[in-house]
Structure 1
Amino acid sequence: MKISDYELLIKLDEIGTIRGTAKVVLISQPAVTQRLKYIEEYFGEQIFLRTAKRLKLTPAGEIILSHAREVIKREEELLNRLAQSSEEVQGTLSIACSSLISQRFLPKILGEYTTKFPKVAINLVTGISEDIRQDHKKYDVCIIRGEKLKESACVRLFADPLYIFDTEPFPDDEVKKRPLISFKSDDSMHELVENWLYYHQDSIKTIKTMTVDQIETCKQFMKQGIGMAVLPKSVSDSMMNEYPHLPLMLDGESVTRDTWVCYQEESKQLPQVNHFIDALTSTKFL
């Protein structure tokens, strides 16, 4: 059995379908099916039951999956011990990153990092900050938006000002009534927007709210004149000269969305983690 076989079992359990797993691990659906068949033949046990909704672990599968997690954990511990004892930076670096940051900034940072430290194995998970918070102890480094993690060392990377955009002007002498388009995010983002709208209801009122899955979809809907959208500067600076917009202000201060890098202090003793945190904190984001 290879480490990649154990990793595949864990992905199958997390995602729940062969099709979805194939999409995530970037191999064909028949290839995933064939590898699962090989693994089951190797152990001589059926690992998953194929139900209409998702894969379900058999009793034997639960034992095998527990073993798979332990094998991967021991492998990472070994690689990290070797990394600490080596003069060359190597080992595994596990990162959980906010989707916005992973799309806008992380490719360049990781590109430069892997060029400098080619022997470091990168494990990357992206998603909304709320989900990352729930599983933050699984990762060496978490890059999240909104509130920082409790019981972790955290460094604020940047404060991201929020703006409200529309294809129609924001008049000074009348109440603007328009639909609001929002994108999937954690509760803290929605609270910022709702709080600002509450204090500005004498000038802006939302007549209905549409929620889309991604921030890019939200931008495109706004550009088509479907409604207003509140967007962070980090993904909208190119729109400033094209569309009417207002900065979100309260009590004379900008309403911002903070971005944090969070980690456990002991993880920073690993060279690959320490260098990556240095790369993040030395980056100029805005």
Structure 2
Amino acid sequence: MKIQDYALLLKLNEIGTIRATAKTILISQPAVTQRLKYIENYFGEEIFIRTPKRLLLTSSGEMILKHAKEVISKENELKNMLAETSKEVQGTLAIACSSLISQRFLPAILGEYTSKFPNVIIDLVTGISEDIKYNHQDYHVSIIRGKKLKETTCIPLFQDPLYIFDTFPFPKEDIKKRPLISFKSDDSMHELVDNWLYHHSDVIKPQKAITVDQIETCRQFMKQGIGMAVLPESVSGSMKDDYPHLPLMIDGKPVTRSTWVCYQEGVRRLPQVDAFLRILTNQTFLK
């Protein structure tokens, strides 16, 4: 059995279907099915019961999954111990990063990091901050937006002011009624926007809500005049010269989105993690 086989079992149990798992790990569905069949033949036991909705663990499967978790945990412990004792910065650096940060800032940061430490293997997952928070223990470093992670060390990276944009001007003496375009994000982002709209219901009243999957889609819809959009400065700074906009303010204070880097206690003993955190925290994100 390979370590990848144990990881596959855990992923199948987490996601619940062979098709979705294959899509997530970027290999074909027949390949996943064939590998699962090999693993079940290896143990001589059925691990999952296939149902129309999801895979269900058998009693034997529960024991095998417990063993898989222990094997992967021991493997990671060994890698970490080897990395700690090595004078050279190497090993694996597991990062979970907010999609916005991964698109806007992370490429340059990882470019600098990998040029300095080419022997480090980068294991990167991107997504919504809420999903990252739920699985943060799977990573050395989590870069998240919104509220910081409890029971971890969190370092603030920057505050990202929010603006509302439109292709039509914002009238000073009339109520603005336009569709509001929003992008898929975590609850804390929606709470900030809803709270601001509540405090400004006398001047802005969205006609309807349009929800899209990504922030870039939201931005392009706004540019085409489809509706208003609330965007952080980190992705909209250059737009302020071209489109009508208002800063989100409540009681004279700007409404901002916090960005944090969070990690478990002791993880900085790993040279590859400490080196990444030093580069990350020395960055200037918003000029």
* TM-score of the superposed pair, with normalisation by structure 1: 0.93
Instruction: Say which is worse superposed, 55-64 or 72-81, in terms of deviation.
Output: 55-64
CA contact 1:182–1:230 (8 Å) conserved in 2: yes
- Give the superposition deviation at 1:87: 0.4
Question: Could you tell me how far 1:108 is from its partner in structure 2?
Answer: 2.5
Tell me the SS of whatever aligns to 2:168.
coil
- Partners in 2 of 1:31 and 1:115 — Cα distance? 34
**CA offset digits 1:62-104 (Å, max 9, x no partner):** 2111111111111110011011111011223222211211222
Which residue in the other structure is 2:131 paired with? 131
Q: Which amino acid aligns with 1:239?
A: M
Distance 1:4 1:159 in 2: 39
1:60 match: 60
Q: State the SS of the aligned residue for 1:168.
A: coil
2:107 corresponds to 1:107: yes
Give the equivalent residue in structure 2 for 1:224: 224
The verdict on how the C-alpha distance between 1:269 and 1:258 changes in structure 2, with shifts beyond 3 A counting, is same
Residue 273 of structure 1: CA displacement? Answer: 1.1
2 CA distance for matches of 1:115 and 1:55?
42
The count of aligned residue pairs is 286
Instruction: Say if 1:76 and 1:91, in contact at 8 Å, map to a contact too.
Output: no
Report if the CA contact (8 A) 1:83-1:91 is conserved. yes
Provide the residue aligned with 2:243 in structure 1: 243
Shift of 1:107: 2.4
Corresponding position of 1:12: 12
Moved over 3 A (4+): none
CA RMSD after TM alignment:
1.7
Partner of 1:194: 194
Shift of 1:7: 1.4
Q: For residues 56 and 122 of structure 1, what CA distance do their matches in structure 2 show?
A: 32
Give me the identity figure in percent: 72
- State the alpha-carbon separation in 2 of the partners of residues 47 and 111 from structure 1: 41
CA-CA distance at 1:142 after TM superposition? 1.2
Residue 210 to residue 105, structure 1, CA distance change in 2 (3 Å) = same
Matched residue type, 2:277:
I
Cα distance in 1 for residues equivalent to 2:234 and 2:118: 29
Cα deviation for residue 157 of structure 1 reads 0.7
1:37, CA displacement in angstroms?
A: 1.7
Per the normalisation by structure 2, the TM-score is 0.93
Q: Please give the per-residue CA displacement for 1:229-249, whole angstroms capped at 9, x wherever unaligned.
A: 101111122322332211112
SS of the aligned residue for 1:204 comes to coil
Q: How many Å apart are 1:253 and its aligned residue?
A: 2.6
Distance 1:28 1:135, change over 3 A: closer
1:278 aligns to what SS in structure 2? helix
Q: Distance in 2 between matches of 1:34 and 1:53?
A: 20
Match of 1:44 in 2: 44
Distance 1:198 1:3 in 2: 52
**Aligned partner of residue 196 in structure 1, secondary structure:** helix
Q: Which runs of 5+ in 2 are unaligned?
A: none
Deviations 1:8-60 (A, max 9, x none): 11122222222222222222222222222221221112222221112222222
* Shift, 1:187, TM fit: 2.0
Matched with 1:80 is 80
